[in-house]
Each structure stands twice: as structure tokens, then as C-alpha cells.
Structure 1
Amino acid sequence: MMHWFDNCAGFQGGGIMMIGMFLFWGVLVLLGVFLLKNYMNGNKRSTHHIDILKERLARGEITVEEYDRLKEKL
């Protein structure tokens, strides 16, 4: 009975599996970096929006009630 990896085909199959493993781990690392970057930027965005609301309140563009309502939405 013939096996799948007879006659040096084992080396070729191992090479294909190695490439697949590198691709898998590469995609996993890139996904982790992407998610971490978005998480860190998300925190900056909400702080930035609250700062804008504070400036608008200080200039008198919005009332305290509007400030509280918009801050809750953020």
C-alpha cells in the first residue's frame, strides 16, 4: 500500500505545511496589532470628542443640558 508522503514527497509536503504555518502566525500577529492599535485609538477618540464638547460649552455654543446629553451619547 502506498503512503501519501513516499518517494521524497514528504519534504515537499512539509514545506507546504511550513509555509502554511508561517502564513497562519503572520495573519494572527497582524490581526493582534490591528486590534491593539484600534483599541488604543478608540480611547483617544472619545477623549478628543469630550474636549471639543468642553470647548463648545466654554464658548457658549451649547448649554449644560446639551453638553450632558451629548456626553452621554459618546
Structure 2
Amino acid sequence: MARIVDEAQNVVGEKIKKYRMERKLSQKDLSEKLEVYAIYICRGSISRIESHERTVTDFELRAMAKVLCVSIEELYEEKNI
């Protein structure tokens, strides 16, 4: 079932992109590394997550945090807090 929506549906997309780029991973690299955790998200879906167009499940979020070597809390932190 597709999880594509019309308005911003996740608050972690910007941070996922930030940490992915800091680690010099392409969207395809991130997609492939998530497979180790049995999370199958194509490159296009990574793009939609980063642009807040796709929701993220708790299982996906946990695996992304592991791949990006950050805590889940770091993915939720706001810029000016």
C-alpha cells in the first residue's frame, strides 16, 4: 500500500537527508544499506521521505537511525531548540 500523501507527513525527512549527505551516502546507498535490516525502500521513496511527501514507519525510522549512526531522537531534533 502506497504511503504517498499531499501534505508534509513526516518531521524527520530533512534530518535524514542531512545525515545521509554528511555520511556521503547517495539515496541508492541508503536504500541498499536498509536492506540489511529487512527494510526495502527504493531510491525514489527515500527522495519522497526527504521531501516530506511520504510517511515513515517506526521500523523504517529505527533502521534509518542505525544506518546513519544517529539516535532516533536526533532525527526529531528541531533546529532552534
For Structure 1 versus Structure 2, the TM-score category normalised by the shorter chain is: under 0.3
Higher relative CO (CA 8 A, sep ≥ 6), structure 1 or 2? Answer: 2
TM normalised by structure 1 equals 0.26
- Which one has the largest radius of gyration? 1
Whichever structure has more helix as a proportion of its residues is 1
TM-score, scaled to structure 2: 0.24
